[in-house]
Structure formats: C-alpha cells, structure tokens
Structure 1
C-alpha cells in the first residue's frame, strides 16, 4: 500500500468528556486521528472552572483547579510551556480553626503556629507539634504496608489523638476534599507518597507552586483553539447516552441522535458516569468502575471574611474549619483565593466547601457542586484492574480518578490512552 494512502487513513476516535482528561487525549491525538470530542456542558474545562467575581465583577477566580508545581505536574507544566500559558507564583499554606475557634493554628510559619498565643502553654498542642515531627521522620524512612489504612498507621506509630484529629485528618482531608471520618479508611501508602513527593514532610522546604494568571480558563481556551485548528470536531452541549461495542469498533449515541460508528472510544468522565453510558459492560468493567465512590462537595464563592479563622495570623491558603460542638460528614474547607491567585486583599474572595455556617447572601458570587473520588483500598484495586485492561474492546478509560485525583493525574491519563491508540495505529501501519 502506498505510504500516502496509509497516512490518509485516519481512524475515528470518540472522546467523551471535555475536562482535563478529554482535552489531554484530544490534544495528543490531534492531527493524527479523526477526533470527535463530546461535552455535555456548554463549555470545556471540567474542574478548570473560572468565574468572574469581586466588587466590580471583573476578577477571574478559579473554583476548581487552582495550583500546580513543575516537579509533580510534569505533563501540565509541559502543556503550559507549549501553549505559553501565563502563570504566577502561588502559596500553599495550611491553617485550621477547630471547635468554633477554640483551637486555631497555621503551618509553615512560626507566627502562624502560635497565631493563638495560648497554644504554647497547651501540653497537648505541643505534643501535636512533636507528633508532626515524629510522623514526618517515620514517613521519610519507613517501609509502609500497602494494605494499612491511615487510621491503623496512626495507631502503629503511637501518634496522639490531637495529631490525628487536629492535624493529619484535617490536612489530608483538605488535600482530597474528603471528610475526616472517611480519611482514616484511606490507604496510608498513597498518602505518604503524595506528601513525600509534594515536599510536605518537612525536609528541604516546599516546591515552587504556581497558578494560572487570569484563571485556568486561559489554558482551556488555548487548548480548545489548538484542537479546532487541528481539525478536532468539538460537540458542546452534547450528552452521550449510550455506548455499545460492535465488531471492530464501538457505536456512540448522543441524546436525540442516532448511533455513530467509531474505531475507538475514550471515556474521560467519572467512573460512575462512564458505567451509566456503557450499554454492555463486562463484569470486570462493571465491578471496577463501581469500586470508585464519590464525595459531593458544595462550593460557594464569596467575600464573607467571617468564614475565616477568628485570628488573622491563622489565615492560610487552605483553612480547615470545625464548628463548635458540631461534627459533619462533609469537610468544611476554605481556600483564600487572594493568597492563592495573588489577587488584591482589599477585594476579599474565598472558595468554601460544604460549610453549614451562614454566609451572607449579598456576598455570594457563585455556587456549584463538585464530585471528588474517595480513594479507599477497593478504589485502588479497581484502578489497577482498569489500567491493566485499558484498550480492550476498543474502549479506553482515563481521568484523575484513575490515579490520585489531581489535575495532573487527569491530564496524564488522558495523554496515556492517546499514546496507546497511537501505538496501535503505528502497529497497524507496520503490519500493512
């Protein structure tokens, strides 16, 4: 067969989902295959969600994906470099306000640690500080059993209740947007790896965190433009309702449409949504996709400073909060957007998740519900099974839920399945 004919014979690839995973897959496949990207919403981006807020309604604020660093986000860093995405330094400090302000502190600066002056006279607080140092030391040098949970690790290492209740579970719960009661059932090994990789174990300082100047929509627009320039067909407001496998390919049906044939399909959607679209899931697909559960997180973008700690010295980029005499099955977490995105502090802006505390209605800019994966042992097993079988039946799975739940994970898995498809194409050409 003449080489030019082989080059012209592009395969039809359906990508379902226009978040970072679908965008990454489409970006990697652009120009090489005939790509059709389905997105149920009115715009692309997924958790890369920028809203105009502030006193004048002209301040771009991110409500989902916020920060990255070059060490732990290599795919995202490379993409931003290729697209000349403007970025600026960010800050990743952590603070906590427990029991309505009964205990308040911050991490990473001595001033923040003693934001509440009486902390230095609290034996249990000082014990918590010692336990943090002990935990960091053990985490850096110990071999961790892959089956041990965070709760059991705390017991095995002899760490105290204050460390568990007022530091580790709030801190890790903030990272994964997960209530502290569920965090204790998370496997400890991925948590330790994450904290070590992100320089959160107190050795050598933090990584250089950055944020997109102008909001994450800046990178989404650049990716979208590249896709359209490369001939990728983007179908917005097009919800896929059914995918079925047929001989040598798949058929995809959108709401109100008919089945269309594709050589391969990439699911870049949450696992539960993916399973709902598959009309003929295998038993392995059904059990593995079902193994990943999700936690809903209600987001409010606002300017109400009363939501932050009572003591300004305890204010931080991430603040975990517990109300007085009230526990919740959802984590109450606030992102100080001015600090994270270098916005003027005289125009306060906060993103708060799941609070039951009243936020002044006239200070609310936006509300939304996000869904984040819960990474228990069953979820990790399901991830591995799906990764091992990816590409079977012309079907590929990607998403942040396939790894650790972060933006980099979504992009990396999207590009990974794209490479798998391109490798298939190369093998087919070589065989011909």
Structure 2
C-alpha cells in the first residue's frame, strides 16, 4: 500500500477529481451510494444515443481546471451549441433569442428574434446584457463592499426588464435555483462568471464520449470503487481524547449488511447537508459550517413531449427558457438533438431534457425523472466557507464540493476544492492546476474583450434595423 489509506465518500466531479489526484501518492477507496459511479449514475441509453443526466457542459474560459484534468486524462471534448431563447409562457413565442456563430474557439452570439412584435425588446435586452458583461466589472470594483446582485443592479441603473426577463432567468437556469436566491447572490460571483464566460469565450463544450468516458478514465488509478454503499456514519479520529487514531467509515451494502473500515484520512465529497447527517465529530466548527449551507431541489425530466417547446418549431433553440411571471424559478427545456453533431446524428427523433418543468410532460413521453439538490450562495454560507476552510483536516476529515469555495457552485468549483485538499495531503498538482490570471491575460486582452462585447451590440443593432426595415421574419 502506498502512502496513506484514504476514503473518498461521493463520486461527483469533486470526489472523482480528489480520488484521481490523491491516487498519485496514496491508496484511495471511493464510496458511492448509487449502483454506478455518481457522475454517470443517472445517464441512460435512449433513442439510439447515450445521454448524460443532468447534461454537463463547460467553457474553457470559466472551467480551466476541469478542462486541464480532462486533457490530462485524454478526455476529448468539443463545442456544444448552448444558445438559448426566453419566452414568458410555455405556449408563447420567444421575446429573446440568439444563435451562435463558431469562429475558432469562440462562439459569437447573434441575437435573432422570430417574433417581430418583440424585436425591440430582444435588441434592447441584448444591448443591456453586452453592457453588463463589459462594464459591470469596473462598476463593481468601484464599490466599497460586497453587494447582493439585486442591490448592484438597482444602484447602477440596470432596468427591471433586464433583470427579470433575461439575467435572473439565465442565472436561475445556470445555478438551478429560485429567483429569490439569484437576487441575493453576491454580485462579485455573478459578474465574474459572466465577464469570464462571455467576455473571454462564450463557447460551451461537452465531453465527446459523455460522462461515462470521463468516469472510466478518472477512476483507473483508484485502488477500490465501492458502489451501492449507503454511508450511515463517518466517525472522526479523536487521538487528542485518547480515542481512535483513525477515522471510521460505516456503510450498508447492496445486500443490507453493515460494514465498517478505518482510514487515515476521509474526504467527504457529498453535499454539505448529506455530510452533516453522517459526520460524527467533536469539532463543532465543522458541524456549524456544514449546517450553514443552503440547498434547493429541482426536478429534471428526460422526455419526448414537444409541447414543452416553443409553439413554432422555427423558434426552437438548443435551450428554451420559460420565465413565467409569478413563477419562483425559471424552467428550461434542452433540445438534446441540437447540442452537438453526434447527438443530432444518433438520436432517432426529438428528445428533450427539462429542468423544473412548468408544464408536466405527457406520461407516455417520460423516459427518466430525477430530483437533484444544488447549493446556493447566501451570507450564511459565505461565513460557512471560511469556517470550513479553517477546520479542514481536523479529526482527519476533509471536505470538497462545489459548495465549499467562494465562487459559482459549478463543476469548476468542485475541481478547485479537490486540488486544494489534495495539495494539503501532500500531492503535487502543479502539472494540472491552472494559473487563471495568467490564462486570462494570455487568452484575451481587455481591449479585445471590449471589441468583442461591443461587436455583439453592433450585431444586435444590425439585426434590429434589418428586421424593422423588412417587417418580416428573419428566417
């Protein structure tokens, strides 16, 4: 056995990244409650293709460390069309829509709206969004302290229409959370996300062979992977109290038997609320930190019911957001056939993945129906992140996950938390970890960013002028 004996509990992207990195120096066991490794646990084969549930896409500009691990593993990925439309109700026409033009490694968004009556609104929203991407970082830098997103938008004159019809629905989809949570997000996290994602490169990517290929590659160096393992408790080491020198993991297997095993270190790669339920420790700071994180649960349904798409098929986008007045969160239906070329060729007939459905798909059309919890950033969780950072490793218990760092709780944050814990456990990650500031400087200068975002404005204006002149649909 090499190095320490380490347990990683949970096999989402944070757990898998941690296990992969720690396997360089230590002997690692992964525990996963599902029958398959977590990142691929809900994917399925349907209509001639394998589909990830939930669908996982990423951009090289905002997910540099995830992309670095993928490259190191030999995981191939390519551009995915993640352009979207917004409409106020399931049966309504879109008031905002854009398409992507792929140029080299960039996706240039061109606002286009089939609904002539909403052209002014579409162009107006495009202008405001480009202004937000380009100018919000400087506006935020001039602020003395941290602001919530709603306060920032109001203070700097962004319209209610822009917030409720475009920005909040986008963030509700990205973060899988309610509008109330979006409005209360730290403005710095949101501005950083959009400035990097859209200011550097809007191109979204998808793993060429899906998450199964990622899982197969990333688990190769791991000593053991135990699936169908329901963790019932994790007891922290208590050498300072004359107790156990090592941490203890107890789980119930698929056959119902309860088993226990000691480890030198245990990394909890579950959601914070799940870790709170199983962790037994005298370290109150760990318990208090875990209790501070808030989660929201949303459904995702894979189905074939086209009635959840815009009524005019010419108005269909890869992502179709419904921002219904009075709803507590946005709904989005992903047209799986349009995400990338392979799915377009492989799928036999239209197939959709809907998050937080505002209208239920017909029963006969449903292929899969799951609920997922997602963390949201709140003032309490911000304090919890700081508290968790100072209590890492106490009792030989460590924590990784998208929730654990001050940033958008997405895949990249999970990878970063894995790298931080791996370094503290003696693993050299320098060949994989990305210097993000250097990457940003090398990728695109501030001047080029301005040219790109204001170029989007010119495109929007041109589209609006053309449409008004022709008084007809643009396709």
Q: Same fold judged by TM-score > 0.5?
A: yes
Q: Does 1:410 align with 2:410?
A: no
Q: 1:295 to 1:281 in 2, by over 3 A?
A: farther
- For 1:16-415, list aligned pairs within 5 A: 16-46=9-39, 49-54=42-47, 58-99=48-89, 100-101=91-92, 103-107=94-98, 112-120=111-119, 122=120, 127-144=124-141, 145=143, 146-199=145-198, 203=199, 206-227=201-222, 232-245=223-236, 246-247=238-239, 248-255=245-252, 256-280=257-281, 282-323=283-324, 327-342=326-341, 343-344=343-344, 347-403=349-405, 404-415=408-419
Shift of residue 60, structure 1, vs aligned partner? 1.0
Q: Residues 235-262 of structure 1, C-alpha deviation per residue, up to 9 Å, x if partnerless?
A: 1111111112222431221134354221
Indicate the larger mover: 20-29 or 355-364: 355-364
Q: 1:137 to 1:215 in 2, by over 3 A?
A: closer
Q: In 2, Cα distance between the equivalents of 1:45 and 1:198? A: 26
Unaligned runs of 5+ in 1: 1-7, 425-432
Shift of residue 297, structure 1, vs aligned partner? 1.0
TM-score normalised according to structure 1 size: 0.85
Residues 98, 110 of structure 2: 8 Å contact kept: no
Residues 104, 311 of structure 1: 8 Å contact kept: no
Q: In 1, Cα distance between the equivalents of 2:9 and 2:122? A: 49
Q: What SS does the aligned partner of 2:302 have?
A: strand
Q: In 1, Cα distance between the equivalents of 2:259 and 2:43? A: 34
Q: In 2, Cα distance between the equivalents of 1:223 and 1:233? A: 12
Residues 49, 216 of structure 1: 8 Å contact kept: no
Q: Residues 269-309 of structure 1, C-alpha deviation per residue, up to 9 Å, x if partnerless?
A: 00000011112253221221111111111110112222112
Q: In 2, Cα distance between the equivalents of 1:97 and 1:171? A: 12
Indicate the larger mover: 361-370 or 163-172: 361-370
Q: 1:83 to 1:130 in 2, by over 3 A?
A: closer
Q: In 2, Cα distance between the equivalents of 1:351 and 1:270? A: 23
Shift of residue 149, structure 1, vs aligned partner? 0.9
Q: In 2, Cα distance between the equivalents of 1:29 and 1:414? A: 9
CA RMSD of aligned residues (A): 2.5
Unaligned runs of 5+ in 2: 101-108, 240-244, 429-475
TM-score normalised according to structure 2 size: 0.78
Q: What SS does the aligned partner of 1:143 have?
A: helix
Q: 1:356 to 1:69 in 2, by over 3 A?
A: closer
